[in-house]
Copies of this chain bind each other. A is one copy, B any other.
Amino acid sequence: MSEARRGRSTDVPTLVEQAREGRPRAVARLISLVEDASPQLREVMAALAPLTGGAYVVGLTGSPGVGKSTSTSALVTAFRRAGRRVGVLAVDPSSPFSGGALLGDRVRMSEHSSDPGVYIRSMATRGHLGGLAWAAPQAIRVLDAAGCDVVLVETVGVGQSEVEIAAQADTSVVLLAPGMGDGIQAAKAGILEIGDVYVVNKADRDGADATARELNHMLGLGEIRAAGDWRPPIVKTVAARGEGVEELVDALEKHRAWMAERGVLAERRLSRAANEIETIAVTALRERIGGLRGDQHLAVLAAKVTEGTLDPYTAADDLVSGLTS
């Protein structure tokens, strides 16, 4: 039996086959291999490559409190009703904690926990540069290869990391709620660049119409769109009661159809793959720098910069020359 366990821990082809059959433990193990940057990661990715490309990836972003988890859960219900297999990846770029930080979300998602057609996973990263941008696309690949028709990627907040995650999605949904911030705040968050579909959740609250109106106005202030360009719709929902969720699913399907028709989906996926490759390459280069750091070279350079006897650019030149020679 311990042999069988060892077998399971190293037999990537079997693990991938089991994940394809939708076995949640196999999916969980593959994502763990991704998160832990296992030595087997390359083997996993090579095995998954021919199985990917079938999933429709939807990103959900928004400030804490807008109801992202509730909305994600409501979307899962809607997609399940339509017979789709759904994967949920709840990513938390800023948390130094592992999964526990997302306990609240997990609780809210618990209604789907016994549904074999739904796979839910929380990911937290330790805040190192490239950490999330590197791990999330690989986890999406696992869910994609495991036969999910739809992968919902939920991120906390709308910061730089979230913008990067949004770049991983076929369709990006930005959620707002009444009273969560004025126009300047929304502009600050840079949300007008990343949304394909906007949701004003908690639409039964005061100020929902004003929020939608202001958002509509701001979207209109953006660059002039060519005829036939996608104009992001604004959907009002009360996700906790399931209201407006069918309209949201409709908006997603429309965006997907529009992208497919215009060749935008293929373009986005090419761009996504390019970013993914680049991020892995940069991570590998950083690791090599880390190796140099290990030999105290970087510490010596840093001491000189702190003393003012060396500027950081000359120090960086020194570091890079050690790397590429």
A220 at the interface (CB under 8 A from B): no
Neighbouring B residues of A211 by C-beta, 8 Å: none
A273 near B102: Cβ-Cβ < 8 Å: no
A64 near B181: Cβ-Cβ < 8 Å: yes
Shortest CB distance A178–B (Å): 14
CA of A130 to CA of B293, assembled, Å: 19
Q: Which of A160-219 contact B (CB under 8 A)?
A: 160-164, 181, 184-185, 187-190, 192-193
Shortest CB distance A152–B (Å): 18
Q: Which of A244-281 contact B (CB under 8 A)?
A: 266, 269-271, 273-274, 276-281
User: Given that A273-B306, A293-B274 are contacting pairs, would A316 and B280 also be in contact in the complex, using a CB cutoff of 8 Å?
Assistant: yes
**Nearest-CB residue, chain B, relative to A185:** B64
**Nearest-CB residue, chain B, relative to A269:** B306
User: Given that A49-B308, A181-B65, A310-B49 are contacting pairs, would A189 and B270 also be in contact in the complex, using a CB cutoff of 8 Å?
Assistant: no
User: Given that A130-B129, A313-B46 are contacting pairs, would A95 and B277 also be in contact in the complex, using a CB cutoff of 8 Å?
Assistant: no
Identify which of A22-30, A76-84, A229-237, A294-302 touches chain B.
A294-302
Neighbouring B residues of A159 by C-beta, 8 Å: 93-94, 157, 159-162
Neighbouring B residues of A299 by C-beta, 8 Å: 270, 274
A10 at the interface (CB under 8 A from B): no
B281 near A320: Cβ-Cβ < 8 Å: yes
Neighbouring B residues of A276 by C-beta, 8 Å: 305, 312
Interface of A is mostly: helix
**Nearest-CB residue, chain B, relative to A279:** B129
A185 near B65: Cβ-Cβ < 8 Å: yes
A70 at the interface (CB under 8 A from B): no
User: Given that A48-B311, A49-B311 are contacting pairs, would A189 and B64 also be in contact in the complex, using a CB cutoff of 8 Å?
Assistant: yes
CA of A141 to CA of B138, assembled, Å: 37
Shortest CB distance A60–B (Å): 15
A240 at the interface (CB under 8 A from B): no
CA of A162 to CA of B160, assembled, Å: 9
Q: With A52-B308, A132-B160 given, name 11 new contacts (CB 8 A).
A: A42-B314, A53-B307, A96-B192, A129-B164, A159-B159, A270-B306, A271-B302, A273-B302, A274-B293, A281-B289, A282-B286
Q: What are 6 sample pairs from A and B whose C-beta atoms fall under 8 A apart?
A: A42-B313, A52-B308, A101-B188, A129-B129, A159-B162, A273-B302
- Enumerate chain A interface residues (CB-CB to B < 8 A): 41-42, 45-46, 48-53, 63-65, 92-97, 101-104, 125, 127, 129-133, 137-138, 156-164, 181, 184-185, 187-190, 192-193, 266, 269-271, 273-274, 276-282, 284-286, 289, 293, 298-299, 301-303, 305-317, 319-320, 323-324
The 3 closest A-B pairs by CB, nearest first: A159-B159, A280-B316, A274-B302
